[in-house]
Amino acid sequence: GPKLQPTCPLVSTATKCGQCGPGYATPLEAMKGPREEIVYLPCIYRNTGTEAPDYLATVDVDPKSPQYCQVIHRLPMPNLKDELHHSGWNTCSSCFGDSSKSRTKLVLPSLISSRIYIVDVGSEPRAPKLHKAHAEAIPHPLQVVEPKDVHAKCDLGYLHTSHCLANGEVMISALGDPKGNSKGGFVLLDGETFEVKGSWERPGSAAPMGYDFWYQPRHNVMISTEWAAPNVIRDGFNPADVEAGLYGSHLHVWDWQRHEIIQTLPLKDGLIPLEIRFLHNPAAAQGFVGCALGSNIQRFYKNEGGTWSVEKVIQVPPKKVKGWMLPEMPGLITDILLSLDDRFLYFSNWLHGDLRQYDISDPQRPRLTGQLFIGGSIAKGGPVQVLEDQELQGQPEPLVVKGKRVAGGPQMIQLSLDGKRLYVTTSLYSAWDKQFYPELIREGSVMLQIDVDTVKGGLRLNPNFLVDFGKEPLGPALAHELRYPGGDCSSDIWI
């Protein structure tokens, strides 16, 4: 793609531009950013039997630190059973030109309760706290957006992805309406006061289902994905719901300026399109989406005439098994990531247990360059016997790191800015964890780190890195999505 020039003359290559606002001028500039030293991740207690609120954990990932690999801080939420899930920033590289903004607040929407917590990570990055509003600005001392606000102003609930917009607002996708029926709409928050402003989409033009989204203003486009109605997924996975057509299989293409759907793309074999990623280069008019149940990666792209199309570019074949809920086990692709230079695509097969790296220098023909097994449902010695496998010669060995046998499978992934370190956690969503990996509930999830060969491709587990959320003070917890204080390749969008 075209080489992007930094938009701000004050950028030096090694340091973050102090005068230009949050983030970095370009994705390639971001790759030169500092090494991550701490990671924030939500830890979930809903469905685990521990009656305690979900919390935000801060983990030290600096190898030079005496607290390396330890949870150094825990910020409990004021309520029970929120199901914290994903997080986003008050501002990001989309506001790079605005020196009045700084990335100091982490926005934590709740998947089940529909609450939104605003966390101050700017005052003390190693000890975040709930953001307190200025007393005159808002009657509540703690800045928590209550579900009734979201319900009343947007007729939405069950909140998922949060992205900051270039105009200073924060936008959060919803899976449903307040009653748990499917509805793919978007909640807008004021980026300063965090008050609910209303829905982003035009009245009456929500998508039939919601989940994730990514926008690309240079092409006047946003694309959103589909999971299922909150009422369908809330208490677990029922294969009959798939037969009944209750799971998503479409992408929705939105006009970014008009806030309405201009195209709906059906995905061939693409059941449950979850995480969506445009290429980071803001001039690019293509990207990838991971289809969980279809176990494939689909590439979407803009045609000459300005319409959008989608094609399958990677397929993970199912395995014939016995001792499992179905006779065929899908890979279940649950998270995908693109490196900031748009060279590598990473994804996790939560059920099969492997994490993969593909070279996408030619986005139409991804090439497998790295694969690593991390737990999963087909490990040797477990209840599942693989009868037929198109990819492997035998069942992989269970993974033991620093004496701990890893429960669950690779799920949320995050890449360092320079692309050389991949972090992974093993919990998907408490109700599905309980069903597919009951041992996760007993033993807690883990966070691992993988070293990446960015020259030839390749993945190698770091045997000295383990954060064991089975040993948390209040009992085993389910750690989910990973964020670094300075932004990362799944939270930053360049415009």
pLDDT at residue 19, as a whole number: 57
Q: Tens digit of pLDDT for each residue in 445-465?
A: 999 999 999 999 999 999 999
pLDDT of 470 strictly over 70: yes
Quote the CA–CA distance of 93 and 29 in Å, as a whole number: 11
Mean pLDDT of 28-43: 96
Backbone angles phi, psi at 36, to 5 degrees: -65, 140
Domain annotation covers residue 13: no
Quote the CA–CA distance of 55 and 75 in Å, as a whole number: 5
Q: Give the domain extent around 48.
A: 42-479
- pTM, two decimals, is 0.94
Domain annotation covers residue 487: no
pLDDT at residue 4, as a whole number: 44
Closest CA to 130 of 190, 56, 72, 187: 56
Mean pLDDT of 238-256: 96
Mean pLDDT (the chain) is 93
Q: Tens digit of pLDDT for each residue in 64-89?
A: 999 999 999 999 999 999 999 999 99
Domain annotation covers residue 14: no
Mean pLDDT of 161-183: 96
Task: Yes or no: say if 159 and 166 are a contact pair by the CB < 8 Å rule.
Answer: no
pLDDT of 175 strictly over 70: yes
Backbone angles phi, psi at 371, to 5 degrees: -155, 140
CA dihedral 156, 221, 17, 12 (to 10 degrees): 150
Sort strands 319-322 and 328-329 into parallel, antiparallel or unpaired: antiparallel
- The percent of residues in the chain predicted with pLDDT above 70, rounded, is 94
What pLDDT band is residue 141 in, cutting at 50, 70 and 90?
A: low
- Structure tokens, 267: 């995905």
Q: Tens digit of pLDDT for each residue in 261-294?
A: 999 999 999 999 999 999 999 999 999 999 999 9
Task: Yes or no: say if 417 and 423 are a contact pair by the CB < 8 Å rule.
Answer: no
Domain annotation covers residue 361: yes
Summary count for the chain: helices (H), strands (E): 6, 35
What pLDDT band is residue 15 in, cutting at 50, 70 and 90?
A: very low
pLDDT of 8 strictly over 90: no
Q: Which CATH number characterizes residue 286's domain?
A: 2.130.10.10
pLDDT of 138 strictly over 60: no
Domain annotation covers residue 309: yes
What pLDDT band is residue 139 in, cutting at 50, 70 and 90?
A: low
Beta strands of 6-126 (E only): which ranges? 38-44, 55-60, 71-76, 88-89, 105-109, 116-120
Q: Tens digit of pLDDT for each residue in 87-125?
A: 999 988 788 877 778 889 999 999 999 999 999 999 999
pLDDT at residue 22, as a whole number: 81
Domain annotation covers residue 492: no
SS3 content of the chain, % helix, strand, coil (to 5): 10, 35, 55
pLDDT of 21 strictly over 80: no
Mean pLDDT of 437-448: 97
- The full 3-state SS of 353-422, as one line of letters, equals CEEEEEECCCCCCCEEEEEEECCCCCCCCCCCEEEECCCCCCCCCCCEECCEECCCCCCCEEECCCCCEE
pLDDT at residue 10, as a whole number: 37
Domain annotation covers residue 272: yes
The total of structural domains in the chain comes to 1
pLDDT at residue 313, as a whole number: 98
pLDDT of 359 strictly over 50: yes
Q: Tens digit of pLDDT for each residue in 197-206?
A: 999 999 999 9
